[in-house]
Structure 1
Amino acid sequence: MSKIAILGVGRVGGGLATALTRAGHTVTVADRLPGAAADAARTAQIVINATPGNSSLERLAALREQLRGKILVDVSNATVDGPDGLPAALVYPGSSLAEQLQAALPETHVVKTLNTMLFSVMTAPATLTQPPTAFLSGEDPEAKQVVGGLLADLGWHQEWITDLGGIETARAAEAAILFVPHVIRSTGFAPFAISIAR
């Protein structure tokens, strides 16, 4: 079992904290108090970025020392919202938040995952009518293996997890967020995920 710090106290961070604690991990959720994120990251083995993606880079770049040598699991999407509050464009077109984080944190093992689904599916993938897909992007194979173990603790079967390759592949997974507003407008705010059918 691991010591995990979750940065972000919204629905994503809260859901992951509950599920990972239930799985036996020691989980700390950093609130918005000054220094809370730094303290949480310093004592953790794994840090999960569940902060709003459009401000994640600035927040996490400030934690370079605390994140040195750690695994950073990035589940956020960096988007520009439209008038209805739903994602309308990417903050980093031609790149990705994960790539930007890896460049800013060269001594941290960034792994992108769980960003291609509604938040509730992250911790309950088996509730969908067909198997969803969780993608992994990152430079360090061992870090991705560790993150794959966390996904298993959240109920993800091994055959539902696809390793896309290096961190640059995160730009494809992050672009999938552009499906979200159209799906929600078409079918409502119900759990869904990207799934690779074979």
Structure 2
Amino acid sequence: MTTIAVLGNGRVGGNLAAALARAGHEVTVADRTPGAAADAARTARIVINATPGAGSLDRLAALREELRDKILVDVSNATTDGPDGLPAELIYPGSSLAEQLQEALPETNVVKTLNTMLYPVMTAPATLAETPTVFLSGEDPQAKQTVRELLTDLGWQKEWITDLGGIRTARATEAAILFVPHVIRSTGFTPFAISIAR
């Protein structure tokens, strides 16, 4: 059992929190208010950023002390929305939210994952007709191993998990969010994930 704080109580955060609690972890969910997030982060070993990516950097940079020596699992994508409310442009072109977080939080181990799929797939990957892929980006091997174990608790088989390397590789997976609005407009809001076929 691991103590986990999920920052963000929307569809993504709520879905992850419920699944991790079912897997036997001690989970606290905090909304976006600074006090709630600080309290949750202070007592957790792992913190999951499920806040809207456009505001994540400011929110989490304010928690630098609470996040010291913690693993920060970043599942958000930082984009501006188009007129239809779907992602339109990257906020950090040539970089990524994960890189910005790691720079702002040098004593925190940031691991990017679960950001290349619609949120229902995060906790039910086996429900897709084809085998999905989930990616890991981060600087610390032990932190990535811990997150890999969390992913298996969420139903991800080890062969579905691909470690891309350092945190800079997150800019590739974050850019994949630009596929999402086109896929949704084409096929509707049906669960899908990016997959590497081998």
What does residue 146 of structure 1 align with?
146
What does residue 158 of structure 2 align with?
158
- Partner amino acid for 2:16? L
Q: Report 1:21-170 matches (<5 A).
A: 21-170=21-170
TM-score after normalising by structure 1: 0.99
RMSD value, Cα: 0.6
- The 4+ residue runs of structure 1 with deviation greater than 6 A are none
Over 3 Å counting, the alpha-carbon distance change for 1:189 and 1:34 in structure 2 is same
Query: Helix, strand or coil for the counterpart of 2:80?
Result: strand
What does residue 19 of structure 1 align with?
19
What does residue 194 of structure 2 align with?
194
- Partner amino acid for 2:115? N
Alpha-carbon distance in 2 for matches of 1:174, 1:86: 15
- Partner amino acid for 2:131? P
- Structure 1, unaligned runs of 5 or more: none
Given that 2:34 and 2:59 are in contact with CA atoms closer than 8 Å, whether structure 1 keeps it comes out as: no
TM-score after normalising by structure 2: 0.99
Shift of residue 31, structure 1, vs aligned partner: 2.3
Shift of residue 32, structure 1, vs aligned partner: 3.9
Shift of residue 33, structure 1, vs aligned partner: 4.1
Query: Helix, strand or coil for the counterpart of 1:186?
Result: helix
Alpha-carbon distance in 2 for matches of 1:109, 1:148: 14
- Partner amino acid for 1:85? G
